[in-house]
Amino acid sequence: MIWRTRQHEKRGKLDLSAEAVVMGILNVTPDSFSDGGEFSTLEMAITRAKEMRDEGAKIIDIGGESTRPGAEAVSAEEEKARVVPVIQKLREMPEFDEIHLSVDTSKASVASAAIDAGADIVNDVTGCTADPEMISLCAERGVGLVVMHMQGTPETMQKNPSYADDDVVGEVQQFFSERLKTLTDAGVKPECICFDPGIGFGKTDAHNLSLLTHIDKLTVAGRPILLGVSRKSLFGRLLGIEIPHERDAATIAMTTLARNEGCMIHRVHDVKGNCQALKITEKLIGV
């Protein structure tokens, strides 16, 4: 399984045929649920990116707007001011030549500026539904694209989410199929697309658990699944752990189980621990 990203001799693709990859989370925001403010200066962000690279991340996902439940939107200009300098600086560093950089945004103007600065992937939590220009931008620039399912918006998504016949798995499958057709009809190459079920984005705990126990049923047209469960509130409620940083063990457990079900991209805060878990899992399953 190949996930194509922007044309580059060292970063044109990610080979997911055998080994899973880790996408390290780099939030350059003041209000993200787990690490808001920790990496909000350029120097701190670059230091953390270097750590994640050394720990085994193949992708670094840089976000300038919090998507935690209840988060308010920020302007495109503010978002660009947060993410573009980080991407530019990393792209100036030879040690990041083979590291894919992703921009976590739902705004086409932010994605465009990030791509100009050197981003290879656009990670859109709205599945390219919020900004009508996003699809044409990704088609024209030929970047990798993460299409996530979310019911509602970050500000409203956890206000009584519901699904017809309580079939969240079926609805997410249908969304992925519709998005694949819409995107490819608009010129996005199917090999550039991967899908994210959006754990915690417009879902109750029961919905989240249903998706996590049916990961193998979410694949559409052979495209890879990206899983983002790192330090989620779901784990906090199930385990009674209020501090997000203390949910890494639960995240690792889910990474291990999901890899065994064929999930090949894992978006996490604790890069080192999850990379170790994936290596052991793949040894056990014969990769």
272 an active-site residue?
A: no
Q: Which of 267, 272, 279, 283 is catalytic?
A: 267
267 an active-site residue?
A: yes
Sheet holding 100-104, edge to edge: 193-196, 144-148, 121-124, 100-104, 59-63, 21-27, 265-268, 226-227
Task: Specify the 3-state DSSP secondary structure of 287.
Answer: coil
Chain centroid to Cα 189, Å, comes to 19
Q: Taking Cα atoms as reference points, which of 208, 214, 213, 267 lies closest to residue 238?
A: 208
CA 269 – CA 277 distance, rounded (Å):
14
Task: Yes or no: say if 193 and 148 are a contact pair by the CB < 8 Å rule.
Answer: no
CA 5 – CA 271 distance, rounded (Å):
21
Distances (CA, A) of 160 to 134, 163, 205, 228, 242: 28, 10, 11, 21, 22
Q: Which of 48, 58, 179, 232 is catalytic?
A: 232
CA 271 – CA 233 distance, rounded (Å):
19
CA 43 – CA 58 distance, rounded (Å):
21
Residues in the chain, total: 287
Q: Which of the residues are catalytic? A: 232, 267
